[in-house]
Amino acid sequence: MPSLHRELRRVFVVARLLFKDVLRRRLTLVLLFLVPAIFDAIVLATTEKEHRMEITIGSLVEPGATIHRAGARRDLFDTDLFDDGSREVSERGVTLVYLGTAAVCFLAAFLAFNLVQNRAAADARLVLAGYKPREVLASKLVVLLSLVLVVTVFETAFIRPYVAPVHLGRVALGFFLGGLAYGCAGLFIGSVVRHELEGVFSIVLLTNVDAGWLQNPIYYAPSSNRRIIESMPGWAPTQITLAGAFDDHLPPGMLSHALLYSIALLAAALLAFALRIRPSGGR
């Protein structure tokens, strides 16, 4: 018990120093709010308020249901016994929710990458001073979760006047889980990639392909291989936000799916981080 108390104290000491460093970077703090605001402003400027569209929320598709493609003629013999996940929603609303998740994922990945990549020398000195790699990484996770929570609250508040979700709390939960998963991915990439340019390219590629493209709900129904979409880290968070915004049901298994992905990425990040800084500390 005393050992646990000592470790927690060390974690929060380093976290406090990291917070001070982040708060000194004014441009970073501005971008923290500017990036999602730009995403949302573009949506508001390019979509019509009253326009409706049909999407498929994949996690709501019941076994045995035939997925209907938007615009296609429905089967006359379909008795609607099973939920096919199809919902008619506001184009502006669904775009704000989907891109809101993507924006939080982008920011979380870049913030996490920066917390690791630009502090390698300082982290190595902490290990030399007796800190354990897991303590150093845990302090970064504390800072990351705090920043993701701030961005989540901001994004949820920003879209609220334009979406009027069925369950606002679930939308916020989806945003946060997306940030958590991609934050852990950013910690892993920052621990594995030695140079900043390669790391930035890796994050841009991953977030663009997954959160920025594959998780767009209009792509799900016509996709020829939905398993690829469902296997990505952005799948569960996006499904939670979409269902929370436009349906009364929490998709089964999505919460555990998102948490397991985050835990796996965090475990990989811890291993990579320990291997990275231990040789520098001579341990």
Q: pLDDT 10s digit of each residue in the chain, 283 long?
A: 567 778 888 898 899 989 888 888 887 888 889 989 998 999 999 998 889 999 999 999 988 788 877 766 666 555 567 888 889 999 999 999 999 999 999 999 999 999 998 788 888 888 888 888 889 999 999 999 999 999 999 999 999 999 989 999 999 999 999 999 999 999 999 999 988 889 999 999 999 999 999 999 988 988 989 999 999 999 999 999 999 999 998 888 999 999 999 999 999 999 999 888 874 444 4
Only one residue has tokens 């790699």, namely: 133
How many other C-beta atoms lie within 10 A of the C-beta of residue 164? 11
Q: What are the structure tokens assigned to 102, written together?
A: 């993507």
List the beta bridge partners of residue 53. 89
CA 85 to CA 68: how far, in whole Å?
A: 8
Provide CB contacts within 8 A for 92, sequence distance 6+: 43, 44, 47, 48, 49, 51, 162
pLDDT of residue 113: 94
C-beta of residue 185 within 8 angstroms of C-beta of residue 205: no
Cα dihedral 62, 66, 71, 76 sign: negative
pLDDT of residue 253: 92
> ∠57-253-185 over CA atoms, to 5°?
85
Cβ-based neighbour number of residue 204 at 10 Å = 14
Tokens representing residue 79 in the block: 């008795």
Assessment of whether the complete model's pTM goes beyond 0.95: no
Let me know: does 109 contact 207? Beta carbons within 8 Å: yes
Coil, helix or strand at residue 149: helix
CB atoms within 10 A of CB 253: 12
Return all residues near 178 (Cβ < 8 A) that are at least 6 apart.
101, 102, 104, 105, 108, 211, 234, 237, 238, 241, 258
Ramachandran class of 250: left when φ > 0, alpha when ψ lies in -120 to 50, beta otherwise:
beta
Give the per-residue pLDDT at 172: 97
Please give the structure tokens belonging to residue 185.
């991915």
Q: How many residues does the chain have?
A: 283
What pLDDT score was predicted for residue 71? 65
